[in-house]
Structure 1
Amino acid sequence: MKIIIAIIIFSGIILFHELGHFLLAKKNGIIVTEFSLGMGPRLLSREYKGTRYSLKLLPIGGSCAMLGEDTDEEDVSGTFNNASVWGRIAVVAAGPVFNFILAFVLSVIIVGVVGYEPSTVLSVKEGSAAEAAGLKKGDVITSYQGYHIDLGKDLYVYSYMNELKEGDTVNLTVKRDGEKKEISYKADTNVRYLLGCNFTGDDSAPMTVESVMAGMPLEEAGVQAGDVITSINGVRISTSQEYQDYIREHPLDGSPVKITWKHEGLEYDDTITPKEYRTADSGFSYNIYCEKAKGLDVIRYGAVEVKYMIRTTILSLKELCSGKFGLKDLSGPVGVADAIGTTYEESRSEGSVMLWMNLLNMAVLLSANLGVMNLLPFPALDGGRLVFLVIEAIRRKPVNRRIEGTIHFAGLMLLMVLMVVVMYNDIVRIF
């Protein structure tokens, strides 16, 4: 079922994208030879008023093939190159624009049903630098470190991609009682002492090690995943709850502790020194939960949701170019289909309304993402074609069609190689 849902979402987004090209081509008198959904051999096909409408085997991609699109024909009526340069710009840009329109319509539905996430301060830590600087519960954050904030998740994404560091200054703009206030303070520092592992099971289960962190004390002592911690400083530990109770009464402070653990039926012990772990703390928590939207706010926050999706995509691309993200972090059709399937499986228990809202949210993300990616000035993409058309509009003379075609073909080959690499990563990640 989840595969069928993924195909439906993919197909709907691609169909709407190609519909943009199709409608603007017709509007500008360009003959559309084929309008297809999918790639590969045709499964179904019908010709109507000079256009062949096709459903193809592979449910990824689609096309709106226009007469003379990739040839030198300029004097033949109805060809792509015979249309005005601004008409061709409109045709090429229409695909991504229609993706943004689809994302907006779906976002309005989501906001109308579920609501939006105002960036409201929920709490300010007592005695923190944020409290001393005047930040208060109920303030609405409109800017963080110079980054405009519309929603709580705007702040979450920016904070995730730009981690606050020890000694950093936090710069906020907040709205309070209709007035804007500028707040600035140096982030607090949290100091914790860690042994360096994660545990499995519930509170009543034994202290089984799920994973050991590289370079941390427990790894250096020889503890491995699957081992069971049985005592700390001579105090017997039978369950996770007993461990938590002990740490609450005897917090780790950098002093050596004696750990006993069981590995393959044998008990081992060692005295280890917890490692200091320092993190910056903004001193406040903020809202990432939905509130009901009223009246025209539904339309306003529908647009804000699309803006959030577009900005998140652009931020991710920026991190990819800077090297913070790598190819392993990219997902192609296989990875996206798996994510849609996971969303479907996890949302079923929340009821049909939330199930559909979560799936629509995935569709908004994908549609906005497709719009942004297609506008990138890379050969073979809509953005790459727009670059050549803008140059033509400025020069009042087209770039040599053969040179342009060669560049787009080379770009297409690179995209195909990237798709294969990303698809391989998706399969490895899943299985």
Structure 2
Amino acid sequence: MQSIQTILAVIVIFGLLVSIHEWGHLYFAKRAGILCREFAIGFGPKIYSFKKNETVYTIRLLPLGGFVRMAGEDPEMIHIKPGYEIGLVFNQKGKVSQIIINNKSKHPEAQVVQVERIDLEKQLIVEAYNQEGELVQYEIDEKAHYIQDEQATQIAPWNRQFGSKSVGQRAMAIFAGPLMNFVLAVVILIAYALLQGMPVDEARIGDVTNDGVAIAAGLQKDDVVLSINNHSLSTWEEMTSIIQEHPNEELIFEVEREGETLIIPVVPEVREGQFGENEGFVGIRGPTEFSIVGAVQFGFTQTYMFASMIFEVLGMLFTGEFKLDYVSGPVGIYNYTGEAAALGIFVLMQWAAALSVNLGIINLLPLPAMDGGRLTFIGLEALRGKPIDPQKEGFVHFIGFVLLMLLVIVVTWNDITTLFM
């Protein structure tokens, strides 16, 4: 039952995070007039697909991310040379709507011609010899398809290609993916605060959980903690800091309950902290209040806090404090998602928001094959006044993708060994 719950949680969370990220790319690319050939969740072989308007929406086998395939990002695969025989199908306006590359016998409605010259990007014309041997110029519809091996692919005129758009339009189409992850995190956290209540920084117990020592020690919901070990308290942060700093040590809680002052000894359990160190844990939740304005504020401030924590970890790369245990691959994230799901929907919502912020930041790092790497090349183009050679850029992204996959393998192996140690 636990594994089914984990699998469902992973599918929902990763489906949501990747979908909203790729939707950001798709929406702003389409707004710029770029032809988006495919919107994919996952990589590898297709499991399911359907086409709507100009875009094929697919779910693929390997759940390691997703992509939006924009026209012009990869070289167009069709090359029709002079002397090649093709079939032409015309629409009601007399323009070419289909170009039959092979298997022309399956398209008796097509007019077979011999190509002299064809331009599918700018002029949208084909000059060809008809059956009577006359050289005729045919206009090609800008939404025409070429049919190869009975697979239809829409042509991509230059004005529909990624490279034809302004630096700002291309940058926005790339930046929109990570941006949507930050937006999603804010929305999830606002919903969390509206449903669960917004945390209040008071030294008061909002609730007592069943998985800690607080309930057995006698702490109760709405107890106001006046002091711990004679250290006066006024905020939740002060109280939790003392608890975390004293695992397996007796702490004397002075609490106020219904106008009465009580002395309650508590020994925090030892739990693993964020960076692998031991921390004290007693099993209490903070106080909350319900407010629409406060919930919106909480959504933004908590997103900022998650981002700060991630940048703190990344900063350790430069200070030498970074450890491989601070990052997780698919196996580690799967395991943590299962733990979050077991603790309830509200913990899972916070975990999803944290993952969304993490996905947004990691994608914005100026690394090849990442959105940040692509933005770096667009920025260099803006500074130079001309684009980088597409082949050189493509080679850099390919090398970056290979290194990224190697890192995923290393981190995943570390997750597996940690999981079974």
Which one of 81, 94, 108 corresponds to residue 176 of structure 2?
94
Q: Which residue number corresponds to residue 336 of structure 1?
A: 333
Please tell me the residue identity of whatever aligns with 2:189.
Answer: S
Report the CA distance between 1:293 and its aligned residue: 3.5
Q: Which residue number corresponds to residue 131 of structure 1?
A: none
Aligned equivalents of 1:104, 1:407: Cα separation in 2: 34
What's the secondary structure of 1:33's corresponding residue? strand
Q: Which residue number corresponds to residue 368 of structure 1?
A: 357
Contact 1:119 1:288 (8 Å CA) reproduced: no
Aligned equivalents of 2:346, 2:326: Cα separation in 1: 26
Deviates more, 1:118-127 or 1:314-323: 118-127
Contact 2:200 2:289 (8 Å CA) reproduced: no
Report the CA distance between 1:118 and its aligned residue: 3.9
Q: Which residue number corresponds to residue 79 of structure 1?
A: 161
Contact 1:86 1:393 (8 Å CA) reproduced: no
Report the CA distance between 1:328 and its aligned residue: 3.0
Which one of 18, 21, 32 corresponds to residue 17 of structure 1?
21
Q: How does 1:19-418 map to 2 (within 5 A)?
A: 19-71=23-75, 76-120=158-202, 137-138=233-234, 152=237, 289-345=286-342, 347=343, 355-418=344-407
Report the CA distance between 1:68 and its aligned residue: 0.9
What's the secondary structure of 1:324's corresponding residue? coil
Cα shift readout 1:210-235 (whole Å, capped 9, x = no counterpart): xxxxxxxxxxxxxxxxxxxxxxxxxx
Report the CA distance between 1:60 and its aligned residue: 2.5
Aligned equivalents of 2:418, 2:195: Cα separation in 1: 34
Contact 1:105 1:302 (8 Å CA) reproduced: yes
Cα shift readout 1:330-377 (whole Å, capped 9, x = no counterpart): 2011111111112222x2xxxxxxx21111111101101000111111
Q: Which residue number corresponds to residue 419 of structure 2?
A: 430
Aligned equivalents of 2:312, 2:201: Cα separation in 1: 19
Contact 2:202 2:287 (8 Å CA) reproduced: no
Root-mean-square deviation over aligned CA pairs? 3.1
Report the CA distance between 1:120 and its aligned residue: 4.4
Aligned equivalents of 2:226, 2:389: Cα separation in 1: 62
Aligned equivalents of 1:320, 1:378: Cα separation in 2: 15
Contact 2:40 2:67 (8 Å CA) reproduced: yes
Q: Which residue number corresponds to residue 282 of structure 1?
A: none
Unaligned runs of 5+ in 2: 77-119, 123-157, 204-224, 250-264, 266-283
What's the secondary structure of 1:317's corresponding residue? helix
Please tell me the residue identity of whatever aligns with 1:96.
Answer: P
1:116–1:322 CA distance, 2 compared to 1 (3 A)? farther
1:407–1:127 CA distance, 2 compared to 1 (3 A)? same
Report the CA distance between 1:127 and its aligned residue: 7.8
Cα shift readout 1:115-135 (whole Å, capped 9, x = no counterpart): 33344466567887xxxxxxx
1:109–1:127 CA distance, 2 compared to 1 (3 A)? closer
Please tell me the residue identity of whatever aligns with 1:406.
Answer: F
Report the CA distance between 1:325 and its aligned residue: 2.6
What's the secondary structure of 1:77's corresponding residue? helix
Aligned equivalents of 1:23, 1:310: Cα separation in 2: 25
1:43–1:126 CA distance, 2 compared to 1 (3 A)? closer
Aligned equivalents of 1:112, 1:40: Cα separation in 2: 39
TM-score of the two chains, using structure 2 as the length reference: 0.61
What's the secondary structure of 1:377's corresponding residue? coil
Unaligned runs of 5+ in 1: 129-135, 141-150, 164-189, 191-196, 200-243, 245-286, 348-354
Please tell me the residue identity of whatever aligns with 1:291.
Answer: T
Aligned equivalents of 1:289, 1:127: Cα separation in 2: 21
Structure with more relative contact order (C-alpha pairs < 8 Å, separation 6 or more) = 1
What's the secondary structure of 1:40's corresponding residue? strand
Aligned equivalents of 1:94, 1:429: Cα separation in 2: 35
Q: Which has the larger radius of gyration?
A: 2
Cα shift readout 1:9-64 (whole Å, capped 9, x = no counterpart): 11110011000000001000001111111111001112222211111112221111
Give the % identical residues: 34
Aligned equivalents of 1:26, 1:127: Cα separation in 2: 62
TM-score of the two chains, using structure 1 as the length reference: 0.60
